[in-house]
């Protein structure tokens, strides 16, 4: 689930108003991509559209928008000398004031994303800058093959299917008389299974708890997991503990595209899990803790069991990106998480290429 969506729903459900800031368009070099979001309330700002003076200015504008019910506004900001930033490009930011009346579409979007469904969100921006009932946020199904995330700003009068020019000078309000923001919001919480609740496994789970993923943490030893109080203190609602005498089940029941980390206390268990994962072949990433010597031993044993050499070559062992010599649990966890993110981006790019 997108964290901004959960936080926004929580704020509005408690009676607060908030402004959703979206990077609607990027022109040239900018710190964040189109579709990036930030939430601004009277006394706080959550998430980031790039930091620096750009973000300070966006928060200032959002607080102005917050004063007027149903207000929507587009603003073009050049990332040059006027903002003291050296990116050199420009961004068009969309500001939407939301309140309890927006809980309906937020809940619908959350349900669709939880079910793994991409959704197109459409928002009109008009010259009055205030949304009427006819300008409600619209959710719709994406066109087949167009489920990947994107964000476009259109002129409503554009009949050619291309994004229109809504720019209005270097900085300042855009001509919003006919602007339509359409964005495809796709599920972003990729599944991960971590085998092993030792020091490295615990450190890795702490890192994964901050990333947009769903983690199943598996170990045969119930006592190896943190106490309920310590687990709650992690602040990682995306992590589920599975104290299972048959950890192989977590491999068999994982959905295609799952990522696996194997770091148990038992080499024979590691080998059995590795064999089961490699036989699937439909994983996004498979990493196993261990030395080069362990890898060589496992390569021979897995080959003797008939595992495809191409699958064995996909196994990341030793674990982590190259160039980090520190072997503390925390350093290994950060390095392994970085390696996972590289693999997830590559896996997503390959999936997108197959759809084109």
Same domain, 112 and 53: yes
Same domain, 38 and 105: yes
pLDDT of residue 298: 97
pLDDT of residue 166: 44
Tokens of 148: 């990947």
Same domain, 312 and 251: yes
Asked whether residue 167 carries a pLDDT value surpassing 50, the answer given is no
Q: Give the residue numbers spanning the domain of 202.
A: 190-353
Average pLDDT value over all residues in the chain: 87
Same domain, 101 and 241: no
- 340 phi and psi angles, rounded to 5 deg: -60, -45
Share of the chain above pLDDT 90, in %: 63
Same domain, 153 and 42: yes
Same domain, 29 and 176: yes
pLDDT tens figures, 34-61: 999 999 999 999 999 988 889 999 999 9
> DSSP state, 177?
G
Number of folded domains in the chain?
A: 2
pLDDT tens figures, 173-218: 554 457 999 999 988 789 999 999 999 999 999 999 988 899 999 9
Report CA-CA distances (Å) from 65 to 24, 312, 344.
Answer: 17, 55, 37
Of 113 and 162, the structure prediction assigns the larger pLDDT to 113
Task: Give the start-end residues of each E strand in the chain.
Answer: 18-27, 37-40, 45-46, 72-78, 90-98, 119-125, 138-140, 150-155, 172-173, 179-185, 190-195, 213-219, 239-243, 259-262, 285-288
Residue that is last in its domain, among 131, 161, 185? 185
Same domain, 164 and 216: no
- Distance in angstroms (rounded) separating the CA atoms of residues 231 and 113: 26
Asked whether residue 287 carries a pLDDT value surpassing 60, the answer given is yes
Q: What is the DSSP string of 212-226?
A: SEEEEEEES-GGGSP
CB atoms within 10 A of CB 80: 16
Same domain, 168 and 85: yes
- Distance in angstroms (rounded) separating the CA atoms of residues 319 and 261: 9
Characterize the bridge pairing of strands 190-195 and 150-155: unpaired
Residue that is last in its domain, among 165, 185, 205? 185
Does the pTM surpass 0.75? The reply is no
pLDDT tens figures, 68-101: 998 999 999 988 655 555 556 899 999 999 999 9
Same domain, 159 and 281: no
Same domain, 200 and 181: no
Domain of residue 213, CATH code: 3.40.50.720
Same domain, 225 and 321: yes
Bridge partners of residue 182, in order along the sequence: 122, 152
Of 176 and 9, the structure prediction assigns the larger pLDDT to 9
pLDDT of residue 169: 43
Same domain, 140 and 223: no
Residue that is last in its domain, among 185, 220, 251? 185
């Amino acid at each position: 689930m997108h964290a901004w969506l959960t936080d926004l729903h929580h704020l509005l459900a408690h009676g607060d108003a908030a402004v959703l800031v979206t990077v609607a368009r990027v022109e040239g070099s900018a710190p964040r991509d189109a579709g990036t979001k930030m939430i601004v309330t009277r006394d706080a700002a959550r998430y980031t559209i790039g930091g620096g003076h750009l973000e300070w200015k966006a928060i200032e504008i959002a607080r102005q928008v917050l004063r007027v019910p149903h207000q929507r506004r587009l603003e073009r900001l050049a990332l040059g000398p006027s903002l003291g930033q050296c990116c050199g490009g420009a961004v068009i930011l969309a500001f939407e004031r939301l309140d309890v009346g927006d809980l309906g579409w937020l809940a619908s979007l959350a349900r669709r994303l939880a079910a793994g469904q991409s959704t197109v969100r459409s928002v009109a921006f008009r010259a009055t800058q205030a949304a009427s009932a006819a300008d409600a946020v619209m959710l719709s199904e994406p066109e087949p093959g167009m489920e990947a995330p994107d964000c476009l700003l259109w002129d409503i009068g554009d009949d050619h299917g291309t994004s229109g020019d809504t720019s209005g000078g270097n900085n300042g309000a855009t001509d919003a008389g006919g602007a339509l923001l359409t964005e495809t919001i796709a599920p972003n919480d990729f599944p991960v299974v971590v085998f092993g609740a030792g020091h490295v496994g615990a450190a890795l789970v702490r890192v994964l708890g901050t990333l947009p993923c769903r983690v199943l943490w598996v170990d045969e030893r119930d006592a190896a997991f943190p106490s309920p109080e310590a687990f709650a203190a992690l602040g990682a609602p995306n992590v589920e503990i599975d104290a299972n005498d048959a950890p192989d089940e977590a491999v068999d029941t994982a959905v295609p595209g799952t990522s696996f980390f194997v770091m148990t206390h038992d080499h024979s268990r590691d080998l059995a899990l590795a064999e089961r994962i490699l036989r699937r072949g439909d994983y996004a990433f498979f990493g196993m803790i261990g030395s080069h010597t362990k890898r060589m031993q496992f390569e021979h044993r897995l080959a003797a069991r008939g595992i495809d050499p191409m699958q064995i070559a996909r196994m990341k062992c030793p674990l982590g990106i190259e160039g980090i010599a520190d072997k503390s649990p925390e350093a290994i966890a950060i390095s392994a998480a970085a390696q996972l993110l590289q693999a997830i981006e590559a896996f997503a790019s390959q999936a997108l290429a197959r759809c084109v």
